[in-house]
């Protein structure tokens, strides 16, 4: 089977609404969002906002992301690199 997968790169912060609006104008259903190595670097309140915006706009879509325990990420900005 020779299915062609079409994708578009959007240069935007995940915290901005512009990329959500661009995607919503193209398709509102059955999307898969991948968030690899992302949410662990954002404040909890911002991650919640991203999920809220996605669920309001794309009710029939899914998101795949990794979970990192908060105690492992609290010190990210404070640890010196070795």
pLDDT tens-digit map of 54-65: 999 988 889 999
Q: What is the pTM for the complete model shown? A: 0.73
Cα-based angle 46, 49, 55 (whole degrees, multiple of 5): 145
Residues in the chain, total: 82
Quick one: pLDDT at residue 49?
A: 96
- Percent of the chain scored above 90 by pLDDT? 30
Please give the span between the terminal C-alpha atoms of the chain, in angstroms, as a whole number.
48
- State the pLDDT at residue 78: 61
Please give the pLDDT value at position 47: 93
């Amino acid at each position: 089977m020779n299915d062609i997968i079409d994708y578009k790169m959007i240069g935007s912060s995940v915290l901005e609404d512009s990329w959500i609006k661009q995607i919503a104008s193209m398709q509102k259903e059955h999307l898969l969002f991948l968030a690899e190595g992302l949410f662990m670097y954002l404040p909890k309140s911002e991650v919640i906002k991203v999920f809220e915006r996605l669920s309001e706009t794309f009710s029939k879509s899914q998101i795949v992301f990794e979970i990192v325990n908060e105690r492992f990420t609290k010190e990210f900005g404070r640890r010196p690199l070795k």
